[in-house]
Structure 1
Amino acid sequence: MGEIFPWLHEVENLAERHGFFHWELQFSHLFKNRGGFDIQVGNPPWVRPNWDEDAVLAEFDPWFKLAEKSPAESKFGRKNELLKFDSRWNEFLNELSGIAGLSDFLSGEATYPPLVGTQPDLYRAFMCRSWGNMGEGCNIGLVHPNTHFGGVRERHLRRESYARLKFLAFFVNGGNWAFSRPVGDTAEFGVHVYGDPGVVGFDCVNRIYSPSVVAGSFVHDGLGEVPGIKYHGDWDIRPHKKRVVHVDEGVLGEWSKVTAIGGVSSLEAPLLFPVSSSEAGAISAIAAYCGRLGADIQIASGYHEAGAKKDGLIRWNSSRPIDLHEAILQGPHFSQATPYAKIPMIPCKSTNDWVSWDISSLPESAIPLCNYERAGCRSDYLASQDSWNKKRYTEYYRLAWRRRIAFNTERSLFAALIPPGPAHVDAVHSMWAGDNQMTVLNTGFWASLPLDYLLRITGRSDLRNTEAYKMPAPTPGHLLETALLVRSMRLNCLTNAYAPLWAELYDESWQQETWAVNWPRLAPLGEVGPEWEYASPLRTEYERRAALVELDALVSVWLGISADELTAVYKSRYPVLHDYEADIHFDANGRKIAKNHNTYGYGQTKEDFLHLKKYLDKDDPTDTVPEGYAAPFYDTDREREYREAHAHFTEIVERAKRDGTWDGEV
């Protein structure tokens, strides 16, 4: 046969090398007599056939994996020198062709139709293969990731999965309880039980850290406190009836409004992962809210780091720019409604090499230290920037956000208002919402917990243009518009670079704004004038936290989320923030002092907190406060503060409706 078909030898070699397995041939007796298997259980490979050139080259020269931030020219030259040898070149090509061939095979129309157009992944191929191997009445149990439940291109795979899915247990490998290193402790996976295709209807238990939660939740009586993710400083593994969330076509239809993916039916909607059914109200409110940013806004992606360095536009050199127009921002530079949050140390080798800026003493004309600087001529540098309405994007006040969305930190969405001047790298995106006031209002929205929760519940890990367009947006003319604007402006406008914006947007009605919570010792919120001054922004840690807490409640009322639903979301989806808030105090001057080292106040030490606890202990003879702090101290209670603020904003809305001065429509 080899003489008649010369390619046959190559086919046999490829089959032996890649281990092709033909199920229908190997188990022909089962497929002929029974139509397939009665039961299938497995843990398929969680592998994406991605091309990692540096890893392949590192087999010949470890430098390619060990070198950090090496210039593109150096890497290119070293690669050419390395591949001069035929044996290395052939091995390099074999690896490349193997990855390319496997990718095409896994996403081919003839092999796995539901995977066409998706990111190739072996676990997804095994899902389809197991469905094809089903005999009548077959049950399947597979342990694999849940990534196919999100994304636009995965909609066909989701439809096939929903039709067969009977149960899903979504686990997180916290503390490496399920898989040891090198699998990370934030790795996520699911136990998926499939059966014969039919009407959509399955139960799921989400974000759990022990198998015992599953069985216990199905037999629970439904009484008692509803669990979250953390409990008394550890993972919450308490079972509860409300942990079991039932999903059918109606639920998927409502969830499709939350994810807002065009051209996708309810049977193809991305799956959400509420920790308990107590989150249903918040999800319904977000689904019902119609105001979205839309595609008319302007968004810039900034300098793509690798490409911009290769093109000679930017280079890594940690230093302070001569002015804001030379600054190039990265994600850690800002946090929620805080455009001047951190600056890099010199040298800066990792994300740990950043230090907080003291907002209370921030220079009036502050310019942040930056790791990147302009490398070439200014004209080329400026010409490469995005243009909006015939102006460079750096000439606008913009809402900037960190593109990568983390789900294992205190918050997921980090966004702030940045002034004209600074550019940024691609890890940061920025937008202008049509005018400056709408941009500021959206900045307030993006600093709030409800929008942060939207990203967590939908699993959006990379917030680019398409996903940003779907974000809820404030509607002009809303009764709470001034309350949102004042808080957003006073949080973000930290330097005189915001003075023109302040003068443009200021209105005398600002002076009527009051705090929603009875915060002890805070100056009146509306005590500001028409011109920006150093005292115009909120500067102490105490007043800034107060404004952020009130933004969470304000946006909740705006979206129709109740106080109970807001606190349920906070307890169930924000375990790190909940831990941080467990023991925080503010002194008479607004300085923060906290137990958790990750949320220490500026200049605080561990000894300061221990000293404070002795001072607050009535049975301890210590009668002095920590050095640098002043009594009395305010103890935080975020849930109580949420409820008080929510009641304040709700009363404003309800009173206007009763008086007939506002009908709720905008």
Structure 2
Amino acid sequence: MFTNERKLFHEVHHNTQFSINVYGGPQDSIEFDAIFNLYEPVTIETCYDDTNSNEKQLGIKNDKGDWNTNGSPRRIIHFDKEKLCLLAQVFDGSNNIKDAKLSAIQLREELDILRTFNNVKTTLSSIDEKFMIMEMWHETNSQKSGDIIRNIHFAHNGFDRIYSGPHIGVGNPLFKSSRRICKLNSDYDNIDLLNVDFNYSQRINYSPAKKHNEYMKLIAENSWSGKVINDYRIVARKMLNLGGERTLIAAIIPPKTSHINGLLGFDFKDENDLVLAEAMFSSLPFDYFVRTLNKGNLQPNVVAKLPYVTSKYNSALCLRALMLNCLSEEYSQLWERLYKKEYNENKWAKEDKRLSDLKFSNLKSCLTFETSCRTDFERRQILVEIDVLTSMALGMTLQQLQTIYKIQFPVLQSYEDDTWYDQNGRIAFTNNRSMTGVGFTRKDFEVIKNEKNGEFILEIEDDTVVDGPVKRTIRYKAPFTKCNREKDYEEVWHNFEERFANI
């Protein structure tokens, strides 16, 4: 399977996919070879070269960030009836090999990773009576019908807030705020979670266009709380960026709020199910699963195939999802209903002075500004721990988690390799395109990058708050360091392995 990223065919789009298929005559059994994520024909030759023992740089992109044309025998996926049945079971819940859809598998060892997903027999579709999926407002048609209206503003209450896709990030309902003039996907600014009030909500693009009673009549109903907007819900970006930093991007939104169809919503009868699902939706293994489906949109039939696994790691996963998402007082009821005294016994799974275990031991039954993780360093670490805990719950190995990261997430790797944190846990510089405006420019950062100590000041203008724009002074403390996700996975994995050994 080829992708036209290297523009072998200039007359078609660079994302266009096509295949070269070689067919033979009738055989007694089904068997064939497949190679995916091809960008040059020469890769096929090197895959079948018996003298080629290449074991390095076999991801979708190489270490330079270019599309990978390296070949290796490990890239040849030899399909037979058993492997086709595996794909049919994992992606369609079927035992009929005719239902098998070939996913974009980079290396043959990924088949073993898919087997771990297949060993989880419970999917979201199996708890169908306890959750529902909704699109809510259609961005175009709902304006035409007079249900919602374009209105770039800070909402004065939850009912007045209608989320769009860019507003949320992975485990972050306060990821970005619309600019005063918001016409493009780039017209959003990152929110500094350390510099917002506890009652903060971002500037959004739409308001209800009808009177409240008429508006409420249009809201979908469920069988447990009446209207879906009576509940905390998960929303996930509907457009799936298969080649981006992350593909599955989901967060929890509070009651009363709604969203346009750029987000897909999930309403759960049980809030424990809601938070556990959000933890898993925020993990790299689930992101990988969605990515291998090779779909452009997150449709209900895709979500229904996601595993839903309960394990001894539930409490740790739920706590971390809550600490990521409960960023304002609107989440007080969710936190207070789910808080457990055992949460205070948690500890970070990595040694670093920017991570204090007081974060856990100081947790209270009431939600405060300090409950949630707000520094960039803390939030990254929580996501790394969620990756490991989800992998353990699925029955994966550390090596399989690292394989997923190395092979299928080249953009995330490139961002990790050029994101620098100060000693207060703030990002001082990043090449992450979704965080434009965060930290110093590259030119300014190069001047201070190697400083061993000292404080460095950045003056910014913040227009993500109600009384903005306001001038802010952000202080960064040297030295500046990067993180290594593979090494962090190892440290966190061994920590949790020891911690949960007798549970």
Q: Distance in 2 between matches of 1:228 and 1:419?
A: 38
Asked whether the 8 Å contact 2:428–2:439 carries over to 1, the reply is no
Aligned to 1:543: 378
Report the Cα offset of residue 376 of structure 1: 2.2
Letter of the 2:120 partner, please give it.
Y
Cα distance change of structure 1 residues 462 and 261 upon mapping to structure 2, 3 Å threshold? farther
SS in 2 for 1:235: coil
Q: Distance in 2 between matches of 1:252 and 1:550?
A: 33
Equivalent of residue 210 in structure 1, options 35, 40, 44: 40
Q: Distance in 2 between matches of 1:597 and 1:576?
A: 9
Aligned to 1:605: 441
SS in 1 for 2:105: coil
Equivalent of residue 135 in structure 2, options 301, 304, 314: 301
Aligned to 1:282: 113
Report the Cα offset of residue 281 of structure 1: 2.4
Aligned to 2:366: 531
Q: Distance in 1 between matches of 2:309 and 2:99?
A: 28
Report the Cα offset of residue 249 of structure 1: 1.0
Larger helix fraction of residues: 1
Q: Distance in 2 between matches of 1:180 and 1:593?
A: 39
- Encode CA deviations 1:474-517: one digit per residue, 9 max, x unaligned: 32xx2111110111110000000011111111111001111122
TM-score normalised by L of structure 2: 0.90
Aligned to 1:233: 65
Aligned to 2:152: 318
Q: Distance in 2 between matches of 1:574 and 1:314?
A: 37
Aligned to 2:498: 651
Q: Distance in 2 between matches of 1:261 and 1:601?
A: 44
Q: Which has the larger radius of gyration?
A: 1
Q: Aligned pair 1:641/2:472, yes or no? A: no
SS in 1 for 2:22: strand
Report the Cα offset of residue 650 of structure 1: 2.8
Cα distance change of structure 1 residues 321 and 643 upon mapping to structure 2, 3 Å threshold? same
SS in 2 for 1:430: strand
Q: Distance in 1 between matches of 2:92 and 2:404?
A: 21
Asked whether the 8 Å contact 2:430–2:439 carries over to 1, the reply is no
What are the residue-to-residue correspondences of 1:96-495 with 2, within 5 Å?
A: 170-176=1-7, 178-180=8-10, 183-198=12-27, 199-220=29-50, 221-225=52-56, 227-231=58-62, 232-262=64-94, 265-294=96-125, 295-296=128-129, 297-389=131-223, 391-475=226-310, 478-495=311-328
Q: Distance in 1 between matches of 2:406 and 2:83?
A: 23
Q: Distance in 2 between matches of 1:343 and 1:233?
A: 30
Cα distance change of structure 1 residues 410 and 606 upon mapping to structure 2, 3 Å threshold? same
Q: Distance in 2 between matches of 1:275 and 1:208?
A: 9
SS in 2 for 1:256: helix
- Encode CA deviations 1:585-613: one digit per residue, 9 max, x unaligned: 21111111335252467343223431243
Asked whether the 8 Å contact 2:451–2:478 carries over to 1, the reply is no
SS in 2 for 1:431: strand
Asked whether the 8 Å contact 1:557–1:649 carries over to 2, the reply is no
SS in 2 for 1:305: coil
Letter of the 1:208 partner, please give it.
L
Q: Distance in 2 between matches of 1:405 and 1:578?
A: 18
Asked whether the 8 Å contact 1:591–1:601 carries over to 2, the reply is no
Letter of the 1:639 partner, please give it.
E
Q: Distance in 2 between matches of 1:337 and 1:175?
A: 34
Aligned to 1:520: 353
- Encode CA deviations 1:117-139: one digit per residue, 9 max, x unaligned: xxxxxxxxxxxxxxxxxxxxxxx
- Encode CA deviations 1:305-331: one digit per residue, 9 max, x unaligned: 232122210122222221121101111
Q: Distance in 2 between matches of 1:625 and 1:193?
A: 63
What are the residue-to-residue correspondences of 1:553-568 with 2, within 5 Å?
A: 553-568=388-403
SS in 2 for 1:317: strand
Segments of 5+ residues of structure 2 without an aligned counterpart are: 458-474
SS in 2 for 1:411: coil
Asked whether the 8 Å contact 2:449–2:480 carries over to 1, the reply is no
Asked whether the 8 Å contact 1:502–1:531 carries over to 2, the reply is yes
SS in 1 for 2:493: helix
Asked whether the 8 Å contact 2:54–2:71 carries over to 1, the reply is no
Report the Cα offset of residue 428 of structure 1: 1.1
Q: Distance in 2 between matches of 1:445 and 1:179?
A: 39
TM-score normalised by L of structure 1: 0.69
Q: Aligned pair 1:497/2:330, yes or no? A: yes
Q: Distance in 2 between matches of 1:537 and 1:338?
A: 11
Q: Distance in 1 between matches of 2:75 and 2:144?
A: 50
Cα distance change of structure 1 residues 289 and 542 upon mapping to structure 2, 3 Å threshold? same
Cα distance change of structure 1 residues 224 and 271 upon mapping to structure 2, 3 Å threshold? closer
Q: Distance in 2 between matches of 1:288 and 1:601?
A: 43
Q: Distance in 1 between matches of 2:210 and 2:115?
A: 51
Q: Distance in 1 between matches of 2:437 and 2:270?
A: 35
- Encode CA deviations 1:56-106: one digit per residue, 9 max, x unaligned: xxxxxxxxxxxxxxxxxxxxxxxxxxxxxxxxxxxxxxxxxxxxxxxxxxx
Report the Cα offset of residue 209 of structure 1: 1.6
Segments of 5+ residues of structure 1 without an aligned counterpart are: 1-169, 617-622, 657-661
Report the Cα offset of residue 268 of structure 1: 2.5
Q: Which has the higher contact order (CA 8 A, sep 6+)?
A: 2
Query: Post-superposition, which runs of at least 4 consecutive aligned residues in structure 1 deviate over 6 A?
Result: none
Letter of the 2:440 partner, please give it.
Q
Letter of the 1:644 partner, please give it.
E
Paired residues in the alignment total 476
Q: Distance in 1 between matches of 2:337 and 2:273?
A: 13
Pairwise CA RMSD of aligned residues?
Answer: 1.9
Asked whether the 8 Å contact 1:597–1:606 carries over to 2, the reply is no
Report the Cα offset of residue 237 of structure 1: 1.4
Q: Distance in 2 between matches of 1:601 and 1:449?
A: 25
Asked whether the 8 Å contact 1:321–1:327 carries over to 2, the reply is yes
Q: Distance in 2 between matches of 1:454 and 1:339?
A: 23
Once the two structures are aligned, what percentage of the paired residues are identical?
28
Letter of the 2:86 partner, please give it.
E
Asked whether the 8 Å contact 1:608–1:626 carries over to 2, the reply is no
Asked whether the 8 Å contact 2:154–2:202 carries over to 1, the reply is yes
Q: Distance in 2 between matches of 1:214 and 1:300?
A: 43
Q: Distance in 1 between matches of 2:353 and 2:32?
A: 49
Q: Aligned pair 1:510/2:343, yes or no? A: yes
Q: Distance in 2 between matches of 1:308 and 1:435?
A: 30
